[in-house]
Amino acid sequence: MKYLNLSFLIIFFPLVLSAQTNNTIATPRIDKRVELLSIVFRLAGNEEYNTPDNVKYVADIHKHFDKFIDHPLIKYARELRDSSGVSYDAVMSMAVHLNEPPAFEPLVPFSISLPDKRWTLESAVKFTVLLKQFYKDADFDGFFHAHLADYAIAESSFNVLFKKLDVSWYYKFYGKAPAENFNIIIGFGNGGGNYGPHVYLNDHTKKVYAIIGSGTFDEQGLPTYDAASYLPTLIHEFNHSFINYLTDNYESQLRDAGALIYEKERTKMRKQAYGEWKTMINEALVRASAIRYLKTHNTDTLVAEQELKQQLARGFVWMRPLVNLLGQYQSNRKTYPTLESFMPAIVVFYNKLAPNISFYDDDYQQHCARVIAVRPFKNGDTTIRANTTEIIFDFDKKLDGIKYFFGPGAKGIDHYPKSAKFTFANDNKSIIMNVSLKPNTEYQINIAGGMMRASDGYAVQNYILSFKTENNPIP
């Protein structure tokens, strides 16, 4: 996000999907409820709401609110996090289920699963009672108004990005207006986290939110919204408004295949908070549609190809044939006027895919870079001299020379060597890790290859190096 010197005024410039529909998207904005809840759970100590990147704003938060660190609301927020896992999107789900302050009344009645299954009816009611008191005691309204200019700058900057979103493409691609009411909120205090909560209103309207965090800043400390980083998120989130209901409608036809694929990809899916097969199928179709968007809007085919490889690394190893399948849909719109009319073909695709999912896993792994040697010792060696100062990892492919992700293994941080620096070498086919080792110590180094990239855009296979130093003094 970027700051611009504009007065705080929320103006709605609706973007019309088509002359044949009245559906619009309001201009992205800062939301008072989202800011309040992000600050509450920052004070509660939630890691995901405690990023320091928005330096000035974070400093202002602590200056204003730290005196309320032991407020009953903050204590209760900590309790909810520790006992019920109220964190991440559960926090934002509560935010969008409340009306504007200071009332904080639920837009729809709380229940055992609303605003989220991590909340209970009792905890949601108690939280909102305490929230009203905190809002008054901590003078949140005063804090919010003191930052109106900052919020307006962020909104104006974000909208430069928003105007690059071709909303009309969605209507053309899906053949109909979205089934949901889509809203974009700028999470100014959310760090880099993005969330997609929704609310079913009493009139049966479903309001879907894309809450886009503020995670990048320039040298002046002003938030930046570069298209390469943020536009794919917007493209992705808006697809949900057209796709979610389709997987609901075809749930019974997709269940068996989806469950089989999910069982195979469970580990990677759960790391992304996709806890069931239907969420995975939803996400796959959304991501494939986003890649079709990129193919339509970029003359540089590498842009879409790079995004596709990102999705392969996330565990959607069948992404390439799914993207190609949607290409067939785009080429046969007389036969398939809407994506909904094409869903039977997608069901057939998944029923054929599921028994062969291991083939796609194996094929993807063959494309990934992998560690082929470790120097100056071998994996599993228990005779390493404690005066060893560097470990060299050799790969079978050239890496991008940008990203490396090394960390502790299952034994924990106490068994991860102290490292001064990492260096790409050997034309980016090696990484040198400078280390400081102790005698008679077991070590583990975990390479999170899914977060790394080879020069061709494919990921790196995960790798764990285990070794032990000798029980001898350093000469």
Any idea what the CATH number is for the domain that residue 401 is in?
2.60.40.1220
Is there a domain that residue 474 lies in? no
Residue pair 223/239 in contact (Cβ under 8 Å)? The answer is no
Based on the domain organization, do 389 and 362 belong to the same domain?
no
Phi-psi region of 376 (alpha: psi -120 to 50; beta: other; left: phi over 0): alpha
Based on the domain organization, do 33 and 154 belong to the same domain?
yes
Q: How many helices (H) and strands (E) does the chain have?
A: 15, 13
What residues have CB less than 8 Å from 240, skipping those under 6 apart?
A: 180, 196, 208, 282, 286
Based on the domain organization, do 324 and 412 belong to the same domain?
no
Based on the domain organization, do 292 and 160 belong to the same domain?
no
Based on the domain organization, do 383 and 362 belong to the same domain?
no
Is there a domain that residue 244 lies in? no
Q: In whole angstroms, what is the distance from residue 223 CA to residue 339 CA?
A: 37
Is there a domain that residue 235 lies in? no
**How many folded domains does the chain comprise?**
3
Based on the domain organization, do 295 and 395 belong to the same domain?
no
Q: Residue-wise pLDDT tens for the chain (475 aa)?
A: 332 222 222 222 233 333 333 346 789 999 999 999 999 999 999 999 999 989 999 999 999 999 999 999 999 999 999 999 999 989 999 999 999 999 999 999 999 889 998 999 999 999 999 999 999 999 999 999 999 999 999 999 999 999 989 988 999 999 988 777 889 999 999 988 888 888 999 888 888 898 999 988 888 888 899 887 888 888 888 888 788 889 989 999 999 999 999 999 999 999 887 889 999 999 999 999 999 999 999 877 788 999 999 999 999 999 999 999 999 999 999 999 999 999 999 999 999 999 999 999 999 999 999 999 999 999 999 999 999 999 999 999 999 999 999 999 999 999 999 887 999 999 999 999 999 999 999 999 999 998 899 999 999 999 999 999 998 655 5
Burial of residue 192, with CB atoms counted within 10 A of its CB: 0-12 exposed, 13-18 middle, 19 or more buried = middle
Range of the domain at 167: 15-228
pTM higher than 0.85: no
Based on the domain organization, do 214 and 141 belong to the same domain?
yes
**Both tokens assigned to 226:** 């570069």
Q: What is the CA radius of gyration of the chain?
A: 25
Is there a domain that residue 166 lies in? yes
Based on the domain organization, do 201 and 58 belong to the same domain?
yes
Based on the domain organization, do 221 and 73 belong to the same domain?
yes
Is there a domain that residue 7 lies in? no
Based on the domain organization, do 91 and 220 belong to the same domain?
yes
Based on the domain organization, do 217 and 150 belong to the same domain?
yes
Q: In whole angstroms, what is the distance from residue 190 CA to residue 38 CA?
A: 6
Q: In whole angstroms, what is the distance from residue 190 CA to residue 212 CA?
A: 8
Based on the domain organization, do 418 and 269 belong to the same domain?
no
